[in-house]
Amino acid sequence: MPENDKALTPASRGKVSPYPIEHFVADVEETPVQPVDSSTADGAPRSIWSEAWRSLRKQPLFIISALLLLAVIVVALFPGLFTSQQPNDNCLLANSDGGPIAGHPLGFTQQGCDVLARVVYGTRSSLMVGLLATLGVVVVGGVIGALAGFFGGWVDAILARVSDIFFALPMILGAIVVVQLPFFRENRNVWTIVLILVTFGWPQVARITRGAVLEIRNADFVTAAQSLGVSRISALIKHVVPNAMAPVIVIATISLGTFIVAESTLSFLGIGLPPDVMSWGNDIFSAKPSLRTNPMALFWPALALSLTVLSFIMLGDALRDALDPKSRKR
């Protein structure tokens, strides 16, 4: 910097304006100087979760979806409360594709079963598949993604390639390939369907968990924990994972919806849950042949399905807004 001294001289006494400048001082009372970092200790402590809850409570999207889901869960747990009809017994072929009559407000299926009862009793298996598959992908994908993100290096490289491979085989396509195998043809039930969905669904959760963990593992508080003597694994479990939960919860909620759709798509194609298991997908499948004459037998299970999925996706959306770290900071 040879021109240092030159640069210093003209500025050394500040700049002087050719215009008169008045020295103005505001009234001290008007803007009293407050102590720096004064503590405001009123009100209950607000953790991230309680903050999220406060903002969630105000969102109509959340309220609607939460109420709908509550209703769906109650129906799944206690189907008997919502219909006096049996879904499979008392099916009279005489009622085949019949319209609504007293005691049967939604009419009959082609087999002459009560549509309302089918829809009500079908809730449980549809929901079960969604819940179990979500649980599965969160455990498998979450653990793999967290390990990949936290340890990086070759662990990450291998796991990234593996999930790339699974991505090349989209869930429905993969599921279609697998269900036609003799082994699955002979053992079609809720568990095998869940197994198939988890097999092809985990990479997405893994990717999201990996991203979240990657972002947090370099945060100063993780470094601080390590310099306190917290081991790497323990820092992962105690600090990184809890902070990486938000996006995983969001994707899990949305996945729940997509798994229910996936199951019903497979059932719709006739390769999902076996015909004797009551599910919305199976009902839609069996209402297909008589679509032109009795569209309502397809409409009602489809409506139940769509509303449930919509609720999960809306809930996921609302959670994303509430848990978004970007909106959290402000």
Residues 239-298 that bind another protein (CB under 8 A): 239, 242-243, 257, 261, 264-265, 268-271, 284, 291-292, 295, 298
Does 20 sit near another protein (CB under 8 A)?
A: yes
Q: Contact between 7 and another protein (CB under 8 A)?
A: yes
Site for another protein in 130-159 (CB under 8 A): none
Separation between Cα atoms, residue 142 and residue 302, nearest integer Å: 31
Q: Does residue number 309 form part of the binding site for another protein (CB under 8 A)?
A: yes
Cβ distance to another protein smaller for residue 102 or 161 = 161
Question: Residue 21, interface with another protein (CB under 8 A)?
Answer: yes
Q: Is residue 127 packed enough to be buried (19+ CB in 10 Å), middle (13-18) or exposed (0-12)?
A: buried
Q: Position of tokens 């609720």?
A: 311
Residue placing its CB nearer to another protein in the complex, 73 or 176: 176
Contacts (CB under 8 A) with another protein, residues 166-195:
166, 168-170, 172-173, 176-183, 185-186
Q: Which stretch, 30-38, 81-89, 111-119, 147-155, contacts another protein (CB under 8 A)?
A: 30-38
Cβ atoms of 215 and 157 within 8 Å: the answer is: no
Interface residue with another protein among 101, 164, 233, 275 (CB under 8 A) is: 164
| Residue 213 CB, nearest approach to another protein (Å) | 14
Separation CA 204–CA 230 (nearest Å): 30
Say how many CA atoms lie within 13 Å of 154 toward its Cβ. 0
From the list 74, 81, 101, 219, which residue makes contact with another protein (rule: CB under 8 A)? Answer: 219
Other CB atoms within 10 A of residue 71 CB: 15
What whole-number distance in Å separates Cα of residue 155 and Cα of residue 161?
10
Using an 8 Å Cβ cutoff, are 305 and 272 in contact?
no
> In the range 36-65, which residues lie near another protein by CB under 8 A?
36-37, 39, 41, 45-48, 51, 55, 58
> How many other C-beta atoms can be found within 10 angstroms of the C-beta atom of residue 326?
6
Among 13, 89, 94, 102, binds another protein (CB under 8 A): 13
Is 226 among the residues that bind another protein (CB under 8 A)? yes
Q: How far is CA 205 from CA 202, 215, 216, 248, 313, in A?
A: 5, 15, 17, 7, 16
Binding of another protein by 230 (CB under 8 A): yes
Asked if 12 interacts with another protein (CB under 8 A), we say yes
- 3 state SS of 316: helix
Is residue 155 packed enough to be buried (19+ CB in 10 Å), middle (13-18) or exposed (0-12)?
middle
**Only segment of 12-20, 81-89, 96-104, 140-148 that touches another protein (CB under 8 A):** 12-20
Residue (25 or 93) nearer to another protein, CB: 25
Measured between alpha carbons, how far is 100 from 26 in angstroms, rounded to an integer? 79
* Beta-bridge mates of residue 114: 108
Taking the complex as a whole, the smallest distance from the CB of residue 111 to another protein amounts, in Å, to: 19
Amino acid, res. 25: V
Residue 15 within binding range of another protein, rule CB under 8 A: yes
Contact window for another protein (CB under 8 A) among 6-14, 110-118, 145-153, 205-213: 6-14
